[in-house]
Amino acid sequence: MVFALVLAACLCCLRPSWGFSSDQPEPTPRYTPEQLRNVTSVREQIMDHLFKNYQNHERPGATAKETTEVTVYITMTAITSVDVRMMEYTADLLLRQEWQDPRLAWINIPKFKNYTKNLVSPELKQKLWLPDLFFRNGKEGRLHKMTCPNYLTRIDPSGMILYSQKLTMRFSCQMELQTFPMDSQECLMNIGSYGYELSELKFVWRNHTPVDLTKKMQISEFNSPEEVIAYDCSQASTTSTGEYTCLEAKFILSRQLGSWLSSIYIPNFLIIVASWHSFWVDLDAKPARVTLGLLTLLSILTQASGVSSSLPRVSYIKAIDVWNIACIIFNQIFYQRGPSASGVYFTSAGFADASPSRFIDSAKATALAMKRGKLEFCEEMERLLIEAFPTEEEDAFPVPRSQDLPTKKPKRISEIDGYSRFLFPACFLLYNCFYWLYYLVLVNEM
């Protein structure tokens, strides 16, 4: 009986926990709705705490007189153009900087140490201290703004800050064009601090892959760089205002010869070959010889002018200039080759054996006689006509028929043309062998 009473008492005590109704009032909520609206999130509490006394004009470590070290690494997504005339190249790149700021670490704050997410917000850029990085050889640049400003500011719990930007930069590149268009250009990217000296701020490359190139990058007229050499150049970066941090990245752009072969070299070669057809043109066809020589010369000059207009004016001669000059020389030697040009008039007119000095003396005597008077003039003219022209046994003005023309000089001219048909092509081919061997093999090995 006593056991039953004790069991009943226990059941009465456990009744509310079984979900049975109770007359006790429910507990009041911890916060009222108004209080809940005023409670800030942990993230906002962290930001308020970190930036409460933060001074963005002071670099990290300034109070302790320590050097702030900023790690830099770049991803080059594209080289959009290489301008030889302006000696510059344009590149799209992702510039990233990382540095430690102990003032922004919350991992050691007890009430925030369990919050392990990074702080990411566009507003952070206005609140943070940022390195004054600039490109020494940069001519012009812009920050991408599609569809929003392309930059990232991120803080992790240990106070490590990441600042990333997507930029399009135009860099100067000092080019050596002696072997153009078989040249390879060494271009640089020079990074430094504009205001902080080396004792205050130091840029360092990331240990692994400081400059990353997009695979299979397509560059107009150039091959994609195979590698980028990154190094510290702070020792050589001393100016009149102090010693500054310096980083450089160097890569090589090798020009593709294919476009220049199809636009300059092969057309010029064919023009020179076309000029050799004059060796098979008849000697009497003077207009054809003159026209062919002038047209080939004008074609070469037009191409040379087009090439020079797309290149900078430099004080040295380029490989393309050597080629154009040689083509002009070969053309002019062909056009003005000895007897083939000087003997055509007298041969075709039938006066190859007549002495030109007799006609010159006759002209001088005529001018002298005009001064002496009419009688003397007639007597002098009669004497000169007898001396200058043949007798009755000779025909004074023979009809230039093929059987009457002298054969000595035309035969000599024909022999010269025959030799030229083999000599000129052989010389030009020999010149090509030396030209391409020198610029493609010997120069590259130097």
Superfamily of domain 50-256: Neurotransmitter-gated ion-channel ligand-binding domain (2.70.170.10)
> What are the residues whose beta carbons fall under 8 Å from the beta carbon of 375, sequence distance 6 or more?
none
Contact predicate 106/241, CB 8 Å: no
CATH class as words, domain 259-347+408-445: mainly alpha
Q: Which residue has the tokens 């369990």?
A: 114
As a whole number of angstroms, the distance between CA 327 and CA 431 comes to 10
| The predicted structure's pLDDT at residue 419 | 77
Q: Which of 203, 161, 169, 185 is nearest to 76 (CA)?
A: 169
What is the rounded radius of gyration, in angstroms, for the C-alpha atoms of the chain?
Answer: 46
Q: Which of 395, 390, 399, 290 is nearest to 349 (CA)?
A: 399
Q: At residue 293, what is the residue type? A: G
Where b means 16+ CB within 10 Å and e means fewer, 224-249 reads ebeebebeeebeebeeeeeebbbbbb
DSSP 3-state of 23:
coil
- Strands annotated E in 13-128: 68-83, 88-100, 119-120
Contact predicate 268/327, CB 8 Å: yes
**Antiparallel, parallel or unpaired: β 133-135 and 184-193:** antiparallel
As a whole number of angstroms, the distance between CA 47 and CA 55 comes to 14
Q: Cβ atoms within 10 A of the Cβ of 422, count?
A: 10
What does residue 77 show for φ and ψ, rounded to 5 degrees?
-80, -30
Q: Which of 329, 340, 330, 332 is nearest to 419 (CA)?
A: 340
272 exposure class (CB count in 10 Å sphere: 0-12, 13-18, 19+): buried
DSSP symbol at 111: T
Long-range CB contacts for residues 145-150, cutoff 8 Å, separation at least 24: 149/122
β-partners of residue 153 are 163
Q: Cβ atoms within 10 A of the Cβ of 314, count?
A: 14
Q: Which of 273, 368, 250 is nearest to 327 (CA)?
A: 273
Query: What six digits make up the tokens of 111?
Result: 């009430």
Q: What is the pLDDT along the chain (446 residues), one digit of tens a residue?
A: 445 554 555 545 544 444 444 444 445 445 455 444 444 588 889 999 999 999 999 999 988 889 999 999 999 999 999 999 999 999 999 999 999 999 999 998 998 888 899 999 888 999 999 999 999 999 999 999 998 999 999 999 999 999 999 999 999 999 999 999 999 999 999 999 999 999 999 999 999 999 999 888 889 899 999 899 999 998 878 888 889 999 999 999 999 999 999 999 999 999 998 888 777 776 666 677 777 778 888 889 999 999 999 999 999 999 999 999 999 988 877 666 544 444 444 444 444 444 445 445 544 554 554 555 544 545 655 565 455 455 544 444 454 444 444 445 555 556 776 777 888 889 999 999 999 999 998 887 76
Contact predicate 172/224, CB 8 Å: no
Domain boundaries, the chain: 50-256, 259-347+408-445
| The predicted structure's pLDDT at residue 229 | 96
Q: At residue 140, what is the residue type? A: E
| The predicted structure's pLDDT at residue 344 | 45
DSSP 3-state of 49:
helix
Q: Which of 303, 298, 299 is nearest to 263 (CA)?
A: 303
β-partners of residue 98 are 71, 162
As a whole number of angstroms, the distance between CA 208 and CA 211 comes to 9
DSSP 294-316: HHHHHHHHHHHHHHHHTS---SS
Q: ∠ at Cα 82 (80, 83), nearest 5°?
A: 130
| The predicted structure's pLDDT at residue 439 | 93
As a whole number of angstroms, the distance between CA 28 and CA 32 comes to 9
| The predicted structure's pLDDT at residue 162 | 97
Q: Which of 172, 170, 187 is nearest to 312 (CA)?
A: 172
Contact predicate 71/162, CB 8 Å: no
Q: Which of 354, 267, 355 is nearest to 307 (CA)?
A: 267
